[in-house]
Chains A and B, each alone.
Chain A
């Protein structure tokens, strides 16, 4: 309930600003206009108007890119993060390089990615994967590092070997950190999705925004922004529910 007050207030302010004529319509279209455009974009018949009915294609393309990029980041970031949090050798081996790379803004990889992978799926997946890797890696490392050694000792005295304790103690214990890393990673995935799609792919929500800028359709830009916000929020909820569904520790420690 409380969380809807701010969005509602923003909507009201938006209405007021538009209808009082303080800001001209070509800079900020009214909520009604944006709502209509959004409806057409989602439910319109494809081909009727420039953007009508394109949503499903765009959303599917974007979801595949985010999903693949995020998956790459998880597959690389979680094991490396866990290893670097527990094994000083790995920590020393990776620490410097990863911190140096982390300082490079993701956007500066774009020209290189376009040269390497061309325009399209691979470039976006690369950018998304790279950006999402860092929060996942860092949180996993911090999480397993902070596990109470006493819990591991308790496991050991009950006969739990080092390898088994990875799954029975270390990961459950680090679950809040792991989940935080995954959620941050997924959030940043959406940001870098738009960046990757700005490189000139034909479809996707980021491409929609770029396209609308060229054709001067401000309301479509806003539609794109709002839809990305909604999909980002939904994907976060799905991720959280999935983790809670799969892991006791995620259900009980959050």
Chain B
């Protein structure tokens, strides 16, 4: 995969602390990295190391205590459809059908009805959701919900897709299906993706590059480049070797 794309998203010395019962809790410290155009970067680390916090800062949903986020060189100050998030908890609108959930962002943009409908249908088909378009979120499975959550942001054509353990709550089989769906989409649409996961195998399967976060305070302790050709198989020797390396890095 081509890694020499131009810098798209830069995290510059991001720190974040929370005040809890009078004491200051440093969650993120000096986070600095660059995501390049078209790259699939995974961020991994233990539970509670601040992955969600980092993602929300990149999305502009939370502000850093210090440091800056640059998108194509200019600082971001708030949330916007150029940096879309797929949340750990889906966050679909329960009163909208699958179809309406996917159309939400286009409606906000006041995209003309006919072309919005066409786009929604294309993404429904792409995600294999056409049959379920009139269902409500509570009536579909977790895997389908996550596909809706993915479709509703892909349709907006974000410059970067921020995904927060999107498949964490799925069973192993559905999870593998979703991983290959994501890779297919990525190869087809050439999105830039920052993918948070605490699953080492998932990171190895997907990523061009893995950023490993340490805990207390959360910071990037190591960067691993994954040069394995795709599609990657979990049984291959090289994959297993990289897995050992990654898990060792995670443990330390």
Interface residues of A (CB under 8 A from B): 148, 150-151, 153-160, 164, 168-169, 172-173, 175, 248-249, 252-253
Quote the shortest CB–CB distance from B214 to chain A (angstroms): 27
| Best-surrounded residue of A157, A160, A175 (most CB of chain B within 10 A) | A157
B75 interface residue per 8 A CB criterion: no
Residues A253 and B105 in contact in the complex (CB < 8 Å), given A156-B61, A159-B80, A159-B81: no
Please, how many residues of chain B have a CB less than 8 angstroms from a CB on the other chain?
27
On whether the beta carbons of A249 and B91 are closer than 8 Å, the reply is no
Interface string of B45-89 (1 = CB under 8 A from A): 000000000001001110000000000000000111101110101
B contact residues around A159 at 8 Å (CB): 80-81, 105, 108-109, 156
B239 interface residue per 8 A CB criterion: no
A contact residues around B91 at 8 Å (CB): 148, 150-151, 153-154
CA distance A249 to B81 in the complex (A): 24
Quote the shortest CB–CB distance from A195 to chain B (angstroms): 37
Report the tally of A-B residue pairs with Cβ distances under 8 A. Answer: 66
Of chain B, the residue at the smallest CB distance from A252 is B95
On whether the beta carbons of B78 and A156 are closer than 8 Å, the reply is yes
Q: Is the interface of A mostly helix, strand, loop or mixed?
A: helix
Quote the shortest CB–CB distance from B220 to chain A (angstroms): 24
CA distance A151 to B91 in the complex (A): 6
B contact residues around A156 at 8 Å (CB): 61, 78-79
On whether the beta carbons of B93 and A157 are closer than 8 Å, the reply is no
Quote the shortest CB–CB distance from B157 to chain A (angstroms): 12
Of chain A, the residue at the smallest CB distance from B59 is A157
B contact residues around A157 at 8 Å (CB): 59-61, 79-81, 83-85, 153
